[in-house]
Amino acid sequence: MRKRNGFKLLAGAVLGVALVCGAFGTHAAIEGTPRAGAPHYLGLFGASIRPNDGAIFVVGAKCLVMVSTDKGKSWVQLPIRVRPGGPLFQDYDLYSIAFAPDGKTGVIVGEAGTALNTDDGGATWKKVNTGTTKTLLKVYVDGQNVVAVGADGAILRSTDGGTSWQMEKCPLDITLFDVTFTDPNTAWAAGEFHTILKSADGGQSWTIATGGHTENFEIGPYFTINFIDPQHAIAAGLAGELATSDDGGQTWKTSSLPEQVGTYTVAYDPTAKQIWTAGSGGRAFVQGADGKWQPAPRATFNDLTDIAFAGTEGVMVGLNGTILVSDDAGEKWQAVQ
């Protein structure tokens, strides 16, 4: 099955990854432990393609942060420290990673209120104090403005690239699974009870855009929300439930995927102009220009947790160390072994 890589034996060996030149300058060299892929026994939860140069960053269980600067062929695991103690104590799960458009500022969030930030394009990460122990499930970085959401109504905001944080008030005591921005002021979050929240002040204050019926336990969550453009949005949740908006989030219509599959991530591929969903059991669907959902060829049976696209490059990650990469805008996906 999966190849277990022996690189752990070389732990401590330091590799200077080639300097990568981007349109806006040079990223710092990334140092860490070389790896062929992610360990099969760790789940991966977040993926991000660094703007400018296409370096792929993935984050996962037990402080796993890996970078590939060659489209997934080889990886470097970064040393991450979030708890006092030796390497075996670095066991918090990291759930989301995001970069600002400049590719310099980036934030990672995770279990127990964990957050790390970088100002050198992800070469080095610094643990920052968020003032909470609530699990942070998703982060969005819009320049220096950063919003993270998570369990039990956690909404955290930073205006200095993730260095200092303040807790914002959530109108409902629900878990929020995803957050996104359509412009520097307008932010959206998705969560339990088919709830979508909106902020018009860059994430400071939030109102219920739709859902919020917390008394009805038969209503499931939306795990993910994404805006294709300022007008068109899509959210997805349990059993293939979808919510779409064509009017900039004013009204939402429910629909569903062809199959009742738990859907954990929705992404827009700007090159092929297709919307992707991915989720439980490795099931992914693509919506073409005709608006019809087609199942994508199944590349894994593991739950898929995140998708990212940039140019023709695409990456999907999932449980059990799953990484799929595409260099043709999602035509074909190649598993990283």
Partner 1 sequence: MASSSVSFGSFKIGDFVLRYRAIIGAILLIISGVAAYYITQVNIHTEFDDFFPVRHPNVQLYEKWRKYGGAQTLSVMIQVRHGDIFNRDTLQKITDIQTAVDKLPGVDHNQVLSLASYRVSYAEASPGSLLIKPFMFPAPPTDNAGIQDLKRRVLANESTISYLVNPDLKSARVQAAFNERGLDYRELFYEVQDIVKKYQDDNNRIYVAGEPIIRGYGYYYEPEVVVLLLIAVAIMIIILWATGGQRSRWWAPIVTGTLSAVWGLGFVGLMGYDFDPVMLVIPFILTARDMSHGIQWQGRYHDELDRLGDKFAACSATTDFMLPPGFLSIMADISGIIFISFGGIPVLQHIALAGTVWLAGSLTMVFIFQPILMSYLPVPEIKHRRVRAEKGALSAWASRQFDWLVHVPTRGGLLRTVLLGGSALFLVYGIVSGIDSKIGYASAGTPLYKPNAKVNQDIATVGKEFPLEEGWVILTTPAYPNQISVLGGPVLRMMDDFRSYLLGNDPKVLNVVSYAGAIGKPFNERFHYGFPKYLAIPEPLELSANLWFLYLNGSAPGELERFISSRLNDDTCIRILLRDHTYDTLNRIRDEITQFVDERVTPDPVLNPADPKAPRVGVYYLAGLAGLYLAANDVLKKLDFLNITFVLGVVWLFCIGAFRSIVAGVMFLLACVLANFGAFIYMNARGIGLTIDTIPVVSLGIGLGVDYGIYTVSRIRDEVMAGMEVDDAIVLALSTTGVAVFNTFLVMIGGIFPWMFSPLLFHSEMSTLLIFLMATNMVAGCIVLPCYISWARPSFVFGGKAMSRERELKAAVS
Among residues 51 and 221, whose Cβ is nearest to partner 1?
A: 221
- Smaller CB distance to partner 1: residue 91 or 328? 91
Contacts of residue 145, defined as CB under 8 A and 6 or more positions apart, other chains included, come to 157, 158, 159, 184, 202, 203
**Is the distance from CB of 196 to CB of 209 less than 8 angstroms?**
yes
Q: Which is nearer to partner 1, 216 or 290 (CB)?
A: 216
Q: Return the biggest CA–CA distance within the chain.
A: 55
Q: Which is nearer to partner 1, 113 or 161 (CB)?
A: 113
Based on CB atoms, which residue is closest to partner 1, 51 or 318?
318
Please provide residue 211's backbone torsions phi and psi, each rounded to the nearest 5 degrees: 80, -145
Nearer CB in complex with partner 1: 249/318: 318
Q: Which is nearer to partner 1, 41 or 255 (CB)?
A: 41
Q: Least CB distance from residue 189 to partner 1, whole Å?
A: 15
Task: Compare residues 218 and 290 and give the one whose CB is closer to partner 1.
Answer: 218
Query: Minimum CB separation from partner 1 for residue 219, in Å?
Result: 6
CB of 337 to partner 1, least distance (A): 15
Kindly state the smallest distance separating residue 255's Cβ from partner 1, in Å: 17
Q: How far is the CB of 293 from partner 1 (least distance, A)?
A: 19
Please report how close the Cβ of residue 180 comes to partner 1 at its closest, in angstroms: 17
Nearer to partner 1, 8 or 73 (CB): 8
CB of 183 to partner 1, least distance (A): 27
Q: Quote the least distance from Cβ 315 to partner 1, whole Å.
A: 16
Q: Note every long-range contact of 279-282, with CB atoms under 8 Å and residues 24 or more positions apart, other chains counting.
A: 279/223, 279/236, 279/303, 279/304, 282/318, 282/322
Q: Report, in Å, the least distance between residue 24 CB and partner 1.
A: 32
- Site residues, partner 1 (CB under 8 A): 1, 4, 6, 8, 39-43, 45, 61-62, 85-86, 88-89, 91, 93, 95, 111-112, 135, 137, 175, 177, 217-221, 223, 238-239, 262, 264, 280-281, 301-303, 305, 318-320
Tokens encoding 65: 């942060």
